Amino acid sequence: MRKIYLLDCTLRDGGYINDWRFGRETIKGFCKKIARTGIEILEVGFIKRDTYDPDQSLFPDVQSFTDMIQPKSENMMYVGMLDMSAPIPLDRLVPCDGSSLDGIRVIFKKEKIEEAYIYCKRIMELGYKLFVNFVGTDLYTDKEFIEGIQKFNTLHPFALSIVDSFGLIKRKHFLRLVYLADNNLAPGIILAYHAHNNLQQAFGNAEALVEMNLKRDLCIDACVFGMGRGAGNLNLELFAEYMNESYDTQYRIEPMLEIMDEYLNDIYKRKQWGYSLPLYLSASTGCHPNYAIYLAEKDSLPVKAFNELLRSIPVEEKAKFSKDKAERYYRQYQENYIDDKDTLQSLAEQMEGKKVLLLAPGSSIGKYKDAIEEVANKDDVIVWAVNFTGGVFNVDYVFSSNMRRYRNIQGKTDAKCITTSNMRECEHTDFVVNFASYALDEPEIIDNSGLMALRLLKAIGVKEVIIAGMDGYSAYSTGDYYDSTLSYDFSKEAEKRNTLISQEIKKAQGTMKIGFITPTNYQVSEELM
């Protein structure tokens, strides 16, 4: 009679959420509680080149796992994962003696299959149960997938896994992969499934797999609370309950709930995981989820532009994320070139002989309302608001380089609107200037509207700028903005953003007369010269 194994990978896949920093006592406590659930396999963490930190579920060698899993449960198999993109040297693997890991899961992209085969062969020679995981299984052609299966058949691993790395494999495609695997995998090798939930397919696909009633044993990966990279993984507590109800298994759910309550809820409050619009878009366009995470953190693109950008990434690069690539594609998309010579001339004529009060939406503008109004009411001052309508102040111009911000402005102000060319299909704008001419070199602040406005003012010949409300960022997620609806959490990168923006303002102060009439966190000369 076939066996269906459940494998918990929370400490490994869930670690993408918190940099694997669960804490030593949590890791040990997690292992003890999982042992009470009755699940068959526990993945304790990654085997990586990193030096050992007992507060992280990252281990430099097999021996380092020992302290975390003692005493071992006799009814559960303990495994670690090894990534062929950065494997530890083979000579650091010692023979399996039963005191630490029982098995090793090896993940690899298809271009690493030959290297992975050599590594996997050695793992089996050392006495470990071998789990073979085809990363991004959907990226294999049928021929490549079958040939890969046949290659590893010669090793006869414990299990071979279909891996939905980007959470985009739908039922019909999944069942075809299962059919190919089942009909080409040697008898006695377990067929496994690792899901991600970007398109909410994890539970349905896992359910379909166990209901196919294949003759071979199966293994289903899952995480407590669904904790995992991107939209997360199949929920262990939900699938274990389904197995209890449908197949009369006896998994204990309560320890899983205790893990959620005692260990994972606090992490979730700090950094949530689960289904989201950006992750849906990454899956539907076949992109690595980190592209979506990168773009979401920009908080500048509406859904149409977000989707267009992801679709514009070359097919061969969609599954190969790097921050440098993401930054390059973002800049390329934003640089929608236009000739703005006539626009600049018109703006220059309107600003001639005037000072500009540049009004940003920092919280200080509410506290210093009287001082700001005193400056704004001077005959030689023109008021520009950046990314908002100006609140209680009468403004002459609104500048924006952020489509998400501008959606809350357009049609809601009598001021003349100046937008940048990256903002496609922008309505109710009076002037459009070329994005690339005013964009910043540093990726973190490439489209910072305040800095772009300063660059534009210099380009049209403004000699003096008075700044209010450009407060800088704090280490707290709230309170930086005059209007709470404008708030966005930059707290985790506040210091870096403040430093980069300070440097740019200092450069501008070298060519223009720039002063502040409200306090700022930027390390610049604040006084009007």
For the chain, percent of residues with pLDDT exceeding 70: 96
Count of structural domains within the chain: 3
190 and 304 share one domain: no
pLDDT higher than threshold 90 for residue 25: yes
Q: Is the pLDDT of residue 410 over 90?
A: no
Predicted local confidence at residue 50, as pLDDT? 78
Same domain, 133 and 257: yes
Average pLDDT over residues 332-343: 93
Q: Are residues 77 and 194 in the same domain?
A: yes
Question: Are residues 242 and 149 part of one domain?
Answer: yes
Helices (H), 185-285: 202-211, 236-247, 254-259, 265-270, 277-284
Report residue 404's pLDDT band, with 50, 70 and 90 as the boundaries: confident
Name the residue among 386, 385, 402, 401 with its Cα closest to residue 433: 401
CA distances from 233 to 46, 111, 220, 239, 445 (A): 17, 25, 11, 11, 33
pLDDT of residue 529 exceeding 50, the answer is no
Residue 401 lies in a domain: yes
Q: What angle do CA 79, 218, 1 make, to 5 degrees?
A: 120
Q: What is the pLDDT of residue 512?
A: 92
Q: Are 337 and 432 in contact (CB under 8 A)?
A: no
Going 58 to 63 to 67 to 73, the CA torsion angle's sign is: positive
Average pLDDT rounded to a whole number, residues 7-14: 98
Q: Please indicate, yes or no, whether residues 168 and 302 belong to a single structural domain of this protein.
A: no
Q: Can you give the pLDDT at residue 230?
A: 82
Residue that has been written with the tokens 């001082």 in this structure: 371
Are residues 140 and 201 part of one domain?
yes
Per-residue pLDDT of 173-214, as tens digits, reads: 999 999 999 999 999 999 999 999 999 999 999 999 999 989
Residue 529 within any structural domain of the chain: no
Report if residue 522 sits inside a domain: no
Indicate whether 484 pLDDT > 60: no
Say what the pLDDT of residue 266 is.
Answer: 95
Measured in whole angstroms, the distance separating CA 308 from the mean position of its chain's CA atoms is 18
Residues 65 and 144 in one domain: yes
41 CA to centre of own chain: 28
In a domain, 528, yes or no: no
Q: Is residue 524 in a domain?
A: no
Identify whether residues 239 and 284 lie together within a single domain: no
Q: Same domain, yes or no, for 9 and 109?
A: yes
- Give me the mean pLDDT over the 153-171 stretch: 96
With tokens 């197949």, the residue in question is 247
Kindly report, residue by residue over 233-275, the tens digit of the pLDDT: 999 999 999 999 999 999 999 999 999 999 999 999 988 899 9
Answer yes or no: is 497 within a domain. Answer: yes
pLDDT at 431: 95
Residue 412: pLDDT band by 50, 70, 90 thresholds? confident
Average pLDDT, the chain: 93
233 and 314 share one domain:
no
> Confidence class of residue 482 from pLDDT cuts 50, 70 and 90?
low
Q: What are phi and psi of 522, to 5 degrees?
A: -75, 140
Residue 19, pLDDT > 50, answer yes
The model's pLDDT over 431-457, given as tens digits with 9 standing for 90+, comes to 999 999 999 999 999 999 999 999 999
Q: What share of the chain in percent tops pLDDT 90?
A: 85
Same domain for 265 and 282? no
Assess whether 168 and 200 both reside in one domain. Answer: yes
Tens of pLDDT, residues 58-106: 999 999 999 999 999 999 999 999 999 999 998 889 999 999 999 999 9
Q: What is the CATH number of the domain that holds 133?
A: 3.20.20.70
pLDDT (average), residues 30-37: 98
Pairing of strands 41-47, 58-59: parallel
In a domain, 486, yes or no: yes
Instruction: Tell me the two tokens of residue 23.
Output: 């804490």
CB atoms within 10 A of CB 238: 17
Q: What pLDDT was estimated at residue 489?
A: 55
Q: How far apart are CA 12 and CA 30, in angstroms?
A: 12
> 45: part of which helix (H) or strand (E)?
strand 41-47
Residue that finishes a domain, picked among 229, 251, 270: 270
pLDDT at position 426: 77
pLDDT of residue 118: 96
In the predicted structure, residue 498 carries a pLDDT above the cut 50: yes
Q: Which of 334, 353, 377 lies at the terminal end of a domain, its last residue?
A: 334
Domain that holds residue 31: 4-270
The residue among 222, 252, 270 that closes a domain is 270
Confirm whether 191 is domain-assigned: yes
